[in-house]
Structure 1
Amino acid sequence: MITTEQIAGALADRGLLLEAQRGAAAAVTRLTCDSRQVCPGAMFICKGAAFRPEYLAEAARRGAASYISERALPEGRGLKLLLVSDIRKAMAAAAACYFGYAPGCPKLTGITGTKGKTTTAWYLKAMLDAWMHEEHRPETGLLSTIRNYDGNEWSDAVMTTPEPVELHEFLARTVKNRLLYTTMEVSSQALKYKRVRELRFQVGIFLNISEDHISPQEHEDFEDYFSAKLSMFRQCDTACVNLDSDHAQRILKAARKAGHVVTFGRHPHADLRCSNIRTGENGTSFTVSCATFTESFTLAMKGRFNIENAMAAIAAAYVYGVPVQCMKQALAQTRVPGRMETFASRDGKICGIVDFAHNRLSFEKLFDAVFQEYSSYKKIITVFGCPGGKALNRRRELGLLAGLFSDYVMITSDDPGKECPEKIAEEIRRYVEMTGCGCGFSQERKDAVALAVRKAAQYGEKTMILLLGKGCERYQKTGEGLQEYPTDAALMQEAIRTYEGFTFQEKCLIMEAS
């Protein structure tokens, strides 16, 4: 059992503790920043800009014995105070102490980048799992944008990288369940706000970079965003760097903070070089050459851009010593929910792709893949929206890209939060229409997909519908909080089934209506 004195000592060792009230050491029964989770003997963390003193008052009523804060508060009278200089750093340090984090237990891979973190994480987990299966050991852990696995159960993710208390509690469960490896996505927000500060990554992967998450609530500009991501290298034993990324030389310079650097990509100087790329209706294959092997790999997932994600996973697996046959087996079998999921009508006239693409880089790569790999489809309809209150640059960038590469754009809701969906749509519409592309709006995502399928039927020729932004998420963020909502895959399947239920005469009438 961890005591208040042990947590105070951990904070003091890091130069964060300004003052600790005297008193007998007491066992800390729970560490939390959520007043609703407080139990007798808990230590409460007064966290962040959204903190209100009444949260501490509620924690005291529920039996908290101590609290961590950047200032003494009247609501905490009678509770032992650990006064700290930086609450974000202190929260990470306290969580690491309370849950007994030890670097290398489990071996941890951190993945950052603007696009592809989730797919790379699933690819690497599958490679490590295949290896562990051969060794008769448990499969490995995962912390991703969509689902998490701690060695005992799968759970839906709430955020890409959890806050320190939830993060260290998760890692403690992986140790209890005797997992040797865990793969996790590391967001720019997690790095900026020090959620992962206490972690040591045995391998850190930097995939790519483009402008994203620029808003008053996230990053003030691209430099702030880029610098946050580069800071991960300070916590890495080995850095895996994509030489094909924009700003690759700057990324390499920052990677020198890691103990060792391994590069990957199509670049001739990459340590793991990709060549002989072949794409077609039967899938995607490519060759990887390095100091120890030259092998051909095949992807189960469509999308040429997934080669970059596969190369990143291969590079990390190479560092760990995963056998090549395990890498090949994983890539040939792995599909990621909500990423390049494809649904086609029986008559072949309509194909729908569901993908999490939600920023400029992912839109660019997705449209490239569609033009290269689905050339038999003559029309493209894109259905998407932008979130409320954040990543404001997406409205312009995605509106322009969708307009340039689509025959029609249907704007809809995508986590509007407290912002008016019509206002968000109007901003996007302005940029779509700059390109001369037709554009519509339906606030209800289900209706937007149905209208897109009806529009495709009017064309009377093979049409691709891209439903982008939500992937396999089962909720919408509205002004009332998280609201359960069907996945994009369910919406696409329902709309296509409805189309298939039309009689020949009805389809003719729809075409005539165009």
Structure 2
Amino acid sequence: MQKPQQTASTVKRYAALLDNLGVLASPVDAAALPDSPIAFATCDSREVVPGTLFVCKGAAFKRDYLMSAIEAGAACYVSETDYEAPIPCLLVTDIRKAMGAIADFAWGHPSGKIDVCAFTGTKGKTTSVYYLKGILDAQARAAGTHTAAMFSSIEMDDGIERGEAKLTTPEPFDLERHLANAVAAGAEHVAMEASSQALKYGRTFGVEFAVGAFTNIGEDHISPIEHPTFEDYFASKLLLFKQCETAVVNLDMDRADKVYASARERCPRVITYSLEHEAADVFGFHLRHTEGGITFTVRTPRFEREVLLPTPVRFNVSNALGAIACAEGLGIDEECIVHGFESVMVPGRMNLYPTPSGRIMGVVDFAHNGMSLETLLRDLRENYPDRELCVVFGATGGKGMDRRETMGVAAGKFADRIVITEDDPGPEDPADICATIAHFIEAQGNHAWQIEVDREAAIRKAVFETERPAVVIVTGKGHETRMMRRGGAEPCRADGVILREALDEFDAMQGENESA
């Protein structure tokens, strides 16, 4: 299978593109522009080849990058600043919008050749993407086509390239390349996450979304380097609907009325889903906990069937309903929808680690904000009412400052025992972050907490200090194997590996004690 190539064009054609978009800083005399051929477009000076259109992007951009691009053969550059370089400049007023349009054109507008489905929301995006991919892959197997492409915060798989994700939503040139790869591989669908930052800063500009789903909204990502206010965060997410043919809306979320109104205003078709409102287009009911997970009945405009979801927590049923609603929007076969969840496993999301003795149920989840942690702990409290709930968590440094409060409050309300630890402290002292979290736990009247900054030691404490049947929950890092500290990313072991070792050692010790 050959990798796709960018569309050959000219400087004049790109100038016309930006002129039509309305981002040129001043009118360009087309006759004065050279009709130079453009074989490639990029924002990375290391990728430049002769005949490249180079985009000067980023607050930290340096003129040296442009000079390197020119030495490598760049024929023209696009920028918000005139660097007075010895090649033509297309000066623009919005470099992000310009870059999205350039990337989309360079790669031949691949989203017009494949059905792209995007999820946005405060929580549940990654799980929803994996759930929908399970459904789409069932459809692909039935049709004899290539499995769906997927871009998530965990991994990227476009049918040609596969690997660990660097961003929740890739930058424009990467995103359009992956979409073009998916088309070349023969995939018919893409399931992806659309982060608030990606929507706000135009990473998805030019992408056609066959379906865009809004899962929920809560206080998160509010910081000087992310979103200055909740209103900015919310408005950024609503931008998804500007690019959708079909919108999918969760009626059970906060501000559902505003999300629904925005979807109706901007999208030709809206599909709703709910666990609470029977009038929703996709309605879930009759939830039952079983050894294999949760079964529920789903009613859609086309059918009513029972579905098995391999998870112990209720909130994932909402994610499943969102995936089903998207599948309805894409016209996926009924049997593929009903059976598409059965073998889905989301790395680092609600992964279970039971012990043979049954004394401890280990849980690893990515819950990294108050909204996610409270939902998780509330569900586990409901499912395991007689067990001790012990949770290990921390909060990130340098961003998402509100998480220290919201996660501390959630743990203080629902956990019987709490071990506070580091979680990507970045430029801050992790001990300071932990102490702030402890303050908010104490405010809930919960004094059963301790601080252990070393994450591996914290997980072991949670396991070995258990005195009765328990659920030990480790949240925040999930599958990740890098810890962001002051000096940059440092390798670390995944939470599941550490927890599994501790649980096996604990169970072996319990067996020895009972034999003695």
> Is TM more than 0.5 here?
yes
Q: 1:413 to 1:57 in 2, by over 3 A?
A: farther
Does residue 303 of structure 2 align to residue 293 of structure 1? yes
Identify unmatched segments of 5+ residues in structure 1.
510-514
The equivalent position to 1:455 in structure 2, one of 455, 465, 477, is 465
Partner of 2:129: 121
Do 1:407 and 1:437's aligned partners in 2 also have CA atoms closer than 8 Å? no
Does residue 51 of structure 2 align to residue 41 of structure 1? yes
Q: Output the CA distance in 2 between the equivalents of 1:474 and 1:243.
A: 36
Do 2:292 and 2:310's aligned partners in 1 also have CA atoms closer than 8 Å? no
- Code of the residue aligned with 1:400 in structure 2: it is V
Q: Residues 436-455 of structure 1: matches in 2 within 5 Å?
A: 436-455=446-465
Q: Residues 21-60 of structure 1: matches in 2 within 5 Å?
A: 22-60=32-70
Does residue 15 of structure 2 align to residue 5 of structure 1? no
- Code of the residue aligned with 2:47 in structure 1: it is Q
Q: CA deviation at 1:102?
A: 4.4
Does residue 379 of structure 2 align to residue 369 of structure 1? yes
Does residue 389 of structure 2 align to residue 401 of structure 1? no
Partner of 1:429: 438
SS in 2 for 1:65: strand
Partner of 1:262: 271
Q: Output the CA distance in 2 between the equivalents of 1:14 and 1:481.
A: 38
Do 1:412 and 1:444's aligned partners in 2 also have CA atoms closer than 8 Å? yes
Q: CA deviation at 1:178?
A: 1.9
Q: Output the CA distance in 1 between the equivalents of 2:46 and 2:300.
A: 53
What's the C-alpha RMSD, in Å, of the aligned pairs? 2.1
Q: 1:3 to 1:484 in 2, by over 3 A?
A: farther
Partner of 1:473: 480
Q: 1:96 to 1:113 in 2, by over 3 A?
A: same
Q: Output the CA distance in 2 between the equivalents of 1:375 and 1:136.
A: 46
Do 1:88 and 1:193's aligned partners in 2 also have CA atoms closer than 8 Å? yes
Q: Output the CA distance in 2 between the equivalents of 1:255 and 1:343.
A: 40
SS in 2 for 1:495: helix
Q: CA deviation at 1:464?
A: 1.3
Identify unmatched segments of 5+ residues in structure 2.
1-7
Q: Output the CA distance in 1 between the equivalents of 2:511 and 2:504.
A: 14
Q: What percent of counterpart residues are identical?
A: 38
Q: 1:7 to 1:485 in 2, by over 3 A?
A: farther
Does residue 312 of structure 2 align to residue 305 of structure 1? no
State the TM-score, normalized to the length of structure 1: 0.93
Does residue 395 of structure 2 align to residue 386 of structure 1? yes
Partner of 1:512: none
Q: 1:328 to 1:419 in 2, by over 3 A?
A: same
SS in 2 for 1:346: coil
Does residue 285 of structure 2 align to residue 275 of structure 1? yes
Do 1:243 and 1:265's aligned partners in 2 also have CA atoms closer than 8 Å? yes
With 344-353 and 223-232 compared, the bigger mean Cα shift is at 344-353
The runs of 4+ residues in structure 1 deviating greater than 4 Å are 19-23, 503-509
Q: Output the CA distance in 2 between the equivalents of 1:292 and 1:501.
A: 51
Do 1:7 and 1:98's aligned partners in 2 also have CA atoms closer than 8 Å? no
Do 1:239 and 1:260's aligned partners in 2 also have CA atoms closer than 8 Å? yes
Q: Output the CA distance in 2 between the equivalents of 1:371 and 1:279.
A: 14
- Code of the residue aligned with 1:306 in structure 2: it is N
Partner of 1:320: 330
Q: Residues 8-19 of structure 1: matches in 2 within 5 Å?
A: 8-19=15-26
Q: CA deviation at 1:407?
A: 2.0
Alignment length (residue pairs): 503
Q: Residues 78-89 of structure 1: matches in 2 within 5 Å?
A: 78-89=86-97
Q: 1:244 to 1:5 in 2, by over 3 A?
A: same
Q: CA deviation at 1:504?
A: 6.0
Q: Output the CA distance in 1 between the equivalents of 2:504 and 2:401.
A: 35
Does residue 116 of structure 2 align to residue 108 of structure 1? yes
Do 1:452 and 1:465's aligned partners in 2 also have CA atoms closer than 8 Å? yes
State the TM-score, normalized to the length of structure 2: 0.93
With 262-271 and 367-376 compared, the bigger mean Cα shift is at 367-376
SS in 2 for 1:18: coil
Q: 1:79 to 1:440 in 2, by over 3 A?
A: farther
Q: CA deviation at 1:89?
A: 0.4
SS in 2 for 1:244: coil
Q: Output the CA distance in 1 between the equivalents of 2:421 and 2:62.
A: 34
